[in-house]
A and B are shown apart, each in its own frame.
Chain A
């Protein structure tokens, strides 16, 4: 990689309960700027832990995590990334506008700047006009869009997403997938995306990283060479199915180390 990687993990190990549980062992991974990388694997493979290590929400037990050329804690202090969780974690007591403005408030932006940026973000996720609503008045898909708007409000170069669409129905999911790719293109950011769904991983990513559990490690990677921009039709192309199969085979290989039934936890 000639360009400096956006995310670099080197020899990263993470254990819990005083060494009894090894979530991740000796992870080496580099993610270049502008990539869309999905992390996929059965439960217990450490993909969410890996995401949290990148975000400095938990420190590594060994190894180094570098984000945007700095150590992870520095990147967090410099607000280099935005994070989206599976349940949108919107604040009940704030309107949609104020939810999106939250990081901007913390950064000390003045009111006029905040208002302008919030409007811009709501337009980006196609929720203009809903600024005055409260989260509970919106559907699950809309809440997730608000969460994405919030994560991007201060224009981070990196987006960390932990199964953001996991709680939504399939049709909303597919729609939001296309929207997310559009946003990714427009903001020219890097995305690290954790998911349980093979087809989602293949559809969204430039590269799929397959992980295996006990201890968590990278089992393999698949470069996704599907053309951009990807549309609803992309899901029906032969190459799409080939890639899905390739990922599935990798996962099955991962699953076969255990009792084979582990594969049941990863869905289509």
Chain B
């Protein structure tokens, strides 16, 4: 009664090098695409500036600074005997990153707990979901000054504001994830007379992990945006928000500084995003076709 095994034990552990190679190819294509887009940008600038077209907007060195101007600005001192712009911006970015991380953690935990609470009660879902959704329609910039007043200016209020933008995707997605296990799996747990707690931690939560990480990817960038926005009413100078305000004032003189700040802000968001992607690779083991 022996059968030939149809799956060889060698499949047990996916080897590292194809994954690295794929990652390398992905990074290379991204760089190439980015370079192509930069080329398109400069092409647009050149064509529109030469032809003098004013739709959708007139093109000159203030509205669309050259990419090399932006790059050069990074290497120049930012003020009188100040540090290089890039160094300054990295300091600001680090400051904001800490706030964003706190907000990210707070928002993710809040969202997760909320989803777990909601999944156990249809009534609670009907009662509270409309307000959870509506909470995102309240413009964060309007609430931010009030949060600052409540919590006193400082990184705590910034973290709360960042958490405000973070918790919503987590709540919605984790709720969906917690409900995503098939009916048969729930029947199986019932056949084991499993308690609600056991069903939660052994079935619902593991099933929800792909959904959680999808949300965390959105929240990663949202927490950075939230932190920057949160700095504005707090008049915090040391973060990227402060840098944006500062360079906005001098935009007509040196537009490239603001653009450079935006680039750094984007890179910070991407860094957070990549951290989540890495965490996902380590935590979530699923059939390849089931990854969200």
Contacts and interface: CB of A to CB of B under 8 A. Distances in A.
Interface of A: 52, 55, 57, 76-79, 81-83, 85, 87, 89, 91-94, 102-103, 105-107, 126, 129-130, 132-139, 141-142, 175, 178-179, 182
Most B CB contacts (10 A, CB to CB) among A52, A55, A103 go to: A103
Given A142-B7, A175-B3, A93 B191 contact: no
B193 A76 contact: yes
Given A79-B193, A91-B185, A102-B202, A178 B12 contact: no
Q: Contact size class for B? A: 20 to 34
B290 interface: yes
Nearest to B290: A92
Given A105-B202, A129-B9, 12 more contacts: A79-B192, A82-B191, A83-B187, A89-B185, A93-B206, A106-B192, A132-B13, A133-B11, A134-B285, A141-B6, A142-B5, A179-B1
Given A85-B184, A106-B202, A126-B2, A139 B191 contact: no
Nearest to A172: B3
Contact of A89 (B7, B188, B285): B188
Given A142-B6, A142-B7, A175-B3, A92 B188 contact: no
B7 A138 contact: yes
Contact of A133 (B12, B192, B288): B12
Contacts of B209: 93
Given A137-B7, A182-B1, A83 B191 contact: yes
Contacts of A132: 12-13
Nearest to A88: B184
Task: Pick the 4 closest A-B CB pairs, nearest first.
Answer: A136-B287, A139-B6, A83-B191, A93-B206
B191 A89 contact: no
A137 to B, nearest CB: 5
A18 B187 CA distance: 22
A89 B184 contact: yes
B190 interface: yes
Given A93-B206, A126-B2, A137 B185 contact: no
Contacts of A175: 3
Contact of A92 (B5, B194, B286): B286
Contacts of B187: 52, 57, 83, 85
B142 to A, nearest CB: 42
A126 B11 CA distance: 18
14 contacts: A57-B190, A76-B191, A83-B188, A92-B287, A93-B285, A106-B192, A106-B198, A106-B202, A126-B2, A126-B3, A129-B9, A132-B13, A141-B6, A175-B3
Nearest to A93: B206
A92 B9 CA distance: 18
Nearest to A160: B191
Contacts of B192: 79, 102-103, 106-107
Contacts of A79: 192-193
B188 A85 contact: yes
A87 B184 contact: yes
Given A133-B12, A137-B11, A142-B7, A91 B287 contact: no
B200 interface: no
Interface in B194-210: 194, 198, 202-203, 206-207, 209
B210 to A, nearest CB: 9
A38 to B, nearest CB: 20
Contacts of A87: 184
A199 B185 CA distance: 29
Contacts of B198: 106
A49 B284 CA distance: 36
B97 to A, nearest CB: 31
B8 to A, nearest CB: 10
A185 to B, nearest CB: 13
B246 to A, nearest CB: 48
Contacts of B203: 91
Contacts of A85: 184, 187-188
Interface string B120-144: 0000000000000000000000000
A246 to B, nearest CB: 29
Contacts of B11: 133, 137
Contacts of B190: 57, 76
Interface string B276-292: 00000000111110100
Contacts of A133: 7, 9, 11-12
Contacts of A136: 286-288, 290
Contacts of A107: 192
A78 B12 CA distance: 36
A92 to B, nearest CB: 5
A129 B191 CA distance: 28
A191 B193 CA distance: 20
